[in-house]
Chain A
Amino acid sequence: MGIITRRIAVNGARLAAWFMLAFALFPERAAAMHIADGILPAGWAGLWYVVAAPFVALGLRGMRVQSARSIHFKPLVGLTGAAMFVISCMPIPIPIAGTTSHPCGSALTAIIVGPTITALIASVALAMQALFLAHGGLTTLGANTLSMGVIGGFTGYAVFHIGMRLGLGAWASAFAAGLLADWATYAGTAFFMATALAESGKGFSMFLALLAAFAPTQVPLGLLEGFVTAGAYGFIMRRRPEILTVKTAVEPV
């Protein structure tokens, strides 16, 4: 076995052991922004599929184009995809609320590979979670892709680049992107729930009630996601800054 192969195996096994430990400690259903099968009526579930589909299609196109332009792009998508899959089903205890919830990873993914490919990655990660981990559902995959991949991804991407243009600096922009993308994702979930489930004329009040119910958990978790996004972005900037320019040929900044 060559030295490189051995290092890959050792690093992979080490990380896998940590994640196995984390999953073993928290084996309960831990989805949070995920809407499970059965919650959305068929008409609403179908509508959100239709709305999400063009973003996923654009992600597929972007993936094809950018993979042809850079040999680093597929490993980058592999890394961000695995990260989003793991992050978005990892329950984090929030002591002040006494509950658990998960970050989304949408902002970091969107900053690195672009928002449409984030939608594609989210759809794959969410489909696997629905099939194997009882997180979310196949009938609600469109709504969940929209909230985590599209709303979270585009919010994170936009906030990051607006922050950079305003001269906030990379750290503050990445922090704001992580924070607001997380909150936007949960606001998206609240919107999909309220539009589908509220009685006539009570949609807005249900939306506010859902936001209020999410807030004690998601306010601190959003801050955590902001720090993680800024930390990861800073790490890439120091270690391999050229990675951050891989995607810009297709998705304009």
Chain B
Amino acid sequence: MSFIKDITSSVTFLMEKWSGVDDTVVAKFAQAAGRPPAPGTFDGMGDLGLLMFLLAGLAGGFALGYFYRGLFGEKAGRDKAGGDVV
């Protein structure tokens, strides 16, 4: 019966609107077990975390576009003007 109670109470963790399950599940179980997560690298440093997210989005997006273009952009290694893709 105890694990049914655990399961029921664990589902109530999910009541915080739009929080990630890292906070609503992983962190809460860890805190309950006495091992809360350590602060992140840029926690409490203003907008630095947001800047890092923006840079990661830029880098990830550029890499996706660059390699996508190389692999799928032109058929059979030729561009639309008819020249060979180097």
Contacts and interface: CB of A to CB of B under 8 A. Distances in A.
Interface string A125-147: 00010011111010000000000
A39 B37 CA distance: 5
Nearest to B58: A16
Contacts of B38: 36-38, 137
Contacts of B18: 93, 98-100
Interface in B1-47: 2-3, 6-7, 9-11, 13-27, 29-30, 33, 35-38, 40-43
Count class of interface residues, chain A: 35 or more
- Chief secondary structure at chain A's binding surface: helix
A252 interface: no
B41 A134 contact: yes
Contacts, number: 222
B20 A100 contact: yes
- Chief secondary structure at chain B's binding surface: helix
A132 B29 contact: no
Given A37-B38, A82-B64, A217 B10 contact: no
Interface of B: 2-3, 6-7, 9-11, 13-27, 29-30, 33, 35-38, 40-43, 49-50, 52-58, 60-73, 79, 81, 85-86
Interface of A: 3-4, 7-8, 11-20, 22-24, 27-32, 34-41, 72, 75-76, 78-79, 81-83, 85-86, 89, 91, 93, 97-102, 128, 131-135, 137, 189, 193, 197-198, 202, 204-206, 208-210, 212-214, 216-218, 239-240, 243
